[in-house]
Amino acid sequence: MNSCLPTLFRLSLALVFALGSLLPSLLGAAPPRIGYVYPAGGQTESSFEMEIGGQYLGDPIGVLFSGSGVSAEIIEHNKLPSAQVIGDYRDRLRSVRPYLQRLKQGEDVDAGSLLPEIDEILARVSLSEKQVRQIDDYSRRRNDPKRQLNNQIGESVRVRVTIAPDAEPGLHYCRLQTSQGLSNPMRFVVGYLVEAREPAEWNFDLPSYLGLKTKLQTTEDPSVITGPVSLPITINGRILPGEVDEFVFEAKEGDQLVVDVDARSLVPYLADAVPGWFQAVVSLQDPRGRELAFADDYRFDPDPVLFYKIPRDGKYRLRIHDSIYRGREDFVYRITMGELPFLTGIRPLGGQAGTEVDIFFQGGNLVEHERPRFPLPEKPGMVGMWASGAAGVSNSIDFHVDSVPEEMEREENDRIGIANPLEIPSIVNGSIHESGDLDFYRVKGDGNRPITFEIFARRLGSPLDSNLTIFDDDGKQIAWNDDFENPSAGLTTHHADARITIDLPSNGVCFIRVGDTQNQGGIAHAYRLKVTQGEPDVALRVTPSSLLAYPGGNARGTIHALRLDGFQGPIRIELDGEVPKGFKMSPVTIASGETTGTVSIQVPNSLISEPQEIRLRGIPIVDGKDASSLHVVPAEDMTQAFITKHIVPVDALLIDIREAPPKKKTSD
């Protein structure tokens, strides 16, 4: 028996390698996956080159942006060849070196005039300018001791982006389309300020690389920073290993400087880095090099915001780097700086759908401080709210729109004996107006049935670190919660909003106490307390947000049922809204207690030039009856730091119909 083991082992290895060679043909090529776009935005009415980095980006066809007014043309796909191929390129280049050295050279020779002759000589050995550039790029990357090679961002596609004058400012999503399908979305920002970018780390010049002496070329790009910048401005850059980027600007005494950094908000999670995102740090220095201000976050947001009143006229220096001096191509940032309007809070934090509400703004450099009788949308959800300033519009803060009746907190209510009575369901808008303040409320519902109390504060920009305490009619504590980790919260990093679901006492009466865990308070420490009873609570997501299908086939996605507070009922998933012609789906049901399900969407028999958006809805089933339908939110299943998974909402669910690859013949 033992004598047979080596033979069996060799046969097993042969089988493994045979299956490995068959898998690509059986499964098809992997879909494109992008890890960054750089620059990660641009100004309206501009055109510039952008780099898309990722994996499996071969044969790019186009770039798709959400919204309108942004388009792009493919310039070039680049993937570094293997060491063996680069060695072959070097050998070929070495063979034509003598011919290249015979070209006319000198300080009076224009480099551009030599390019046709250089191309002709390289063509003799089947070399192109791109292949020579890859030799230089390969050596640069391999010889840098600080650089870690990452296959996840090892390929790139150069594109030319054009942003129309009427493109809507704000967040858009960018996807790369290849012959193998549509990539995941990446965030792209359209701005209204002048934009610039840091000088490129590496610029390849063919004549110089070949050692040819020519006249110095002066092709200046006005968008590349070469000296002090003028405010206000948006600066695009990225941090490479151990790098600290510095920018000089002039400011006047009394300027209310705001430095707003986007980094984590552009690339939410890094799957293969610890910490699992780019943690940007900014600091401000005076003309003498002394540090005046520093920021590594903003309240509970990991992207820093720096505020500083300029003490005197002069040149100042802004520095940015990673908190532990990491860096690579996907450590992308955007810095918007100047006397910018900045919104720090909104009162109230939300309102009832279909009504009008008076909104008051808090912040700096604002000229708009209120919006009286502001009409709210008919459907519940989060609405981005901003205020105007002399230099444009401010940052956006989420405003919570819900369908249940609303009321305002009535002071005094700092003792259980003078608690505000609340109806069920309802939302009360309140605040912890000073340190040590406590707010009490009383509800009466159906006894021995589940009831949910939920705070909306931190996710709406409030600094409140809420806690909830529930008492029965005798004043006995029956439940308490500080931080409820909500799996549907997307990019929320501090789950500081409290939430409790309990069975009401038999008499149906209980008291709710709202406080701040850090014993802080103030006008900005606002909250919304939502009270509901008997409603199923589940959030629905579908991943991935880019699906591939062949004509007449099916696109398959995964539905994630993020169940909250013990809801275990079944959920029916259906198509929603206006469905594109030829698309069909039979309803599917996520069984009781299950957290995932698969949807299969049938696509038309013919190719469609553009990816099509599909909407889904979920209907929870409670006691055999349909509850109110829920929107199934498109999302991406992201990994942070090798292990932690996050379901992050994105813009849309798109299906790309590609021609099926030809079947490959395989031998036995």
| 495-521 pLDDT, tens digit each | 899 999 999 999 999 999 999 999 999
How does pLDDT run across 574-621, given as a tens digit for each residue?
999 999 999 999 999 999 999 999 999 999 999 998 999 999 999 999
> Quick one: which H or E segment has residue 515?
strand 509-516
When pLDDT is averaged across residues 313-333 and rounded to a whole number, the result is 96
Per-residue pLDDT at 492:
72
When pLDDT is averaged across residues 109-114 and rounded to a whole number, the result is 83
Asked if residue 413 and residue 264 are part of one domain, the reply reads: no
Asked if residue 643 and residue 580 are part of one domain, the reply reads: yes
Quote the CA–CA distance of 547 and 499 in Å, as a whole number. 35
HEC sequence for 320-376: EEECCCCCCCCCEEEEEEECCCEEEEEECCEEECCCEEEEEEEEECCCCCEEEEEEC
| Count, residues in the chain | 668
HEC sequence for 386-431: CCEECCEECCCEEEEEECCCEEECCCCCCCHHHCEEECCCEEEEEE
Ordered DSSP codes for 572-620: EEEEESSPPTT-B---EEEPTT--EEEEEEE--SS--SS-EE-EEEEEE
Radius of gyration of the chain (CA): 29
ω into residue 450 within 30 of 0, thus cis?
no
When pLDDT is averaged across residues 126-130 and rounded to a whole number, the result is 95
Q: 485 lies in a domain?
A: yes
Quote the CA–CA distance of 150 and 148 in Å, as a whole number. 6
Query: Is residue 107 scored above 60 in pLDDT?
Result: yes
Q: Whole-number mean pLDDT of the chain?
A: 91
Query: Is residue 15 scored above 60 in pLDDT?
Result: no
8 A C-beta contact, residue 331 and residue 240: yes
The model's pTM: 0.89
When pLDDT is averaged across residues 281-295 and rounded to a whole number, the result is 95
CATH of residue 296's domain is 2.60.120.380
Q: 559 lies in a domain?
A: yes
Per-residue pLDDT at 23:
39
Per-residue pLDDT at 185:
98
Asked if residue 301 and residue 173 are part of one domain, the reply reads: no
8 A C-beta contact, residue 190 and residue 174: no
Asked if residue 514 and residue 579 are part of one domain, the reply reads: no
How many C-beta neighbours within 10 Å does residue 562 have?
A: 16
When pLDDT is averaged across residues 231-256 and rounded to a whole number, the result is 96
Per-residue pLDDT at 19:
39
CATH of residue 647's domain is 2.60.40.60
Q: 622 lies in a domain?
A: yes
What percent of the chain has pLDDT above 70?
94
Per-residue pLDDT at 13:
34
Query: Is residue 20 scored above 80 in pLDDT?
Result: no
Q: Domain total for the chain?
A: 5
Query: Is residue 25 scored above 60 in pLDDT?
Result: no
Per-residue pLDDT at 16:
36
Q: 367 lies in a domain?
A: yes
Query: Is residue 529 scored above 50 in pLDDT?
Result: yes
Quote the CA–CA distance of 11 and 16 in Å, as a whole number. 9
How does pLDDT run across 65-74, given as a tens digit for each residue?
999 999 999 9
In sequence order, the β-bridge partners of residue 184 are: none
Query: Is residue 151 scored above 70 in pLDDT?
Result: yes
Asked if residue 109 and residue 240 are part of one domain, the reply reads: no
Q: 5 lies in a domain?
A: no
Per-residue pLDDT at 216:
67
When pLDDT is averaged across residues 345-354 and rounded to a whole number, the result is 95
Q: 574 lies in a domain?
A: yes
CATH of residue 129's domain is 2.60.40.10
Quote the CA–CA distance of 29 and 488 in Å, as a whole number. 32
How many C-beta neighbours within 10 Å does residue 192 have?
A: 17
Asked if residue 277 and residue 178 are part of one domain, the reply reads: no
Asked if residue 172 and residue 49 are part of one domain, the reply reads: yes
In sequence order, the β-bridge partners of residue 596 are: 560
Q: Could you tell me the pLDDT band of residue 4, with boundaries at 50, 70 and 90? A: very low
Quote the CA–CA distance of 62 and 74 in Å, as a whole number. 6
Asked if residue 453 and residue 550 are part of one domain, the reply reads: no
Asked if residue 136 and residue 200 are part of one domain, the reply reads: yes
Q: Could you tell me the pLDDT band of residue 535, with boundaries at 50, 70 and 90? A: confident
Q: 214 lies in a domain?
A: no
Asked if residue 475 and residue 441 are part of one domain, the reply reads: yes
Asked if residue 492 and residue 631 are part of one domain, the reply reads: no
8 A C-beta contact, residue 339 and residue 365: yes
How does pLDDT run across 257-287, given as a tens digit for each residue?
999 999 999 999 998 888 889 999 999 999 8
How many C-beta neighbours within 10 Å does residue 544 have?
A: 21
Per-residue pLDDT at 147:
73
Q: 28 lies in a domain?
A: no
Per-residue pLDDT at 579:
95
Per-residue pLDDT at 565:
77
Q: What domain range is 314 assigned to?
A: 233-340
Quote the CA–CA distance of 393 and 370 in Å, as a whole number. 14
Quote the CA–CA distance of 269 and 648 in Å, as a whole number. 10
Asked if residue 302 and residue 359 are part of one domain, the reply reads: no
How does pLDDT run across 619-631, given as a tens digit for each residue?
999 888 999 899 9
Quote the CA–CA distance of 85 and 126 in Å, as a whole number. 13
How does pLDDT run across 441-487, given as a tens digit for each residue?
999 999 999 999 999 999 999 999 999 999 999 999 999 999 998 87
- Mean pLDDT check: name the lowest of 162-171, 206-215, 310-319, 353-362: 206-215
Query: Is residue 550 scored above 90 in pLDDT?
Result: yes
Per-residue pLDDT at 11:
37
